[in-house]
């Protein structure tokens, strides 16, 4: 029987492996964000199938440990917004019309 420290070590190793591979491979990064089962499968890990509680605990850990870290590492151009808007002239006018007399009661 595996101990809790073995599970913690296995999860930490899986987290590090997924993040390391996602940093170097954009296709794997998208896979890790969208399909955790397949991302874990690349490293021989399986999502617990025995009970709904174990699956939900795994997904909670995955999104807190892996997905949140991958999202924090967004490329600089994605964080800054599209560059093609920088040179646009956003000149517009806002007109405030008086209320319609029929709406006053």
pLDDT of the chain along its 105 residues, tens only? 556 677 788 889 999 999 999 999 999 999 999 988 899 888 888 877 778 888 888 889 899 989 988 887 655 444 444 555 455 555 666 677 787 777 665
Predicted local distance difference test score (pLDDT) of residue 17: 93
Predicted local distance difference test score (pLDDT) of residue 79: 47
| Residue 49 and residue 55 in contact, taking contact as beta carbons nearer than 8 Å | yes
Tokens of 85: 């808007």
Query: What's the pTM value of the predicted model, to 2 decimals?
Result: 0.60
Predicted local distance difference test score (pLDDT) of residue 93: 67
Report the alpha-carbon distance of residue 88 to residue 96 in Å, rounded.
25
The DSSP 8-state label assigned to residue 101 in this structure reads G
Predicted local distance difference test score (pLDDT) of residue 77: 46
Predicted local distance difference test score (pLDDT) of residue 98: 80
| Residue 32 and residue 22 in contact, taking contact as beta carbons nearer than 8 Å | yes
For the chain, the residue count is 105
| Residue 100 and residue 50 in contact, taking contact as beta carbons nearer than 8 Å | no
């Amino acid at each position: 029987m595996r101990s809790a420290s073995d599970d913690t070590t296995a999860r930490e190793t899986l987290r590090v492996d997924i993040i390391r591979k996602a940093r170097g491979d954009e296709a794997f990064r998208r896979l890790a964000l969208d399909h955790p089962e397949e991302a874990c499968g690349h490293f021989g890990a399986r999502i617990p199938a025995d009970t709904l509680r174990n699956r939900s605990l795994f997904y909670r850990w995955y999104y807190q440990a892996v997905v949140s870290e991958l999202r924090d590492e967004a490329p600089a151009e994605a964080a800054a917004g599209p560059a093609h808007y920088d040179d646009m002239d956003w000149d517009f006018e806002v007109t405030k019309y008086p209320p319609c007399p029929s709406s006053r009661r």
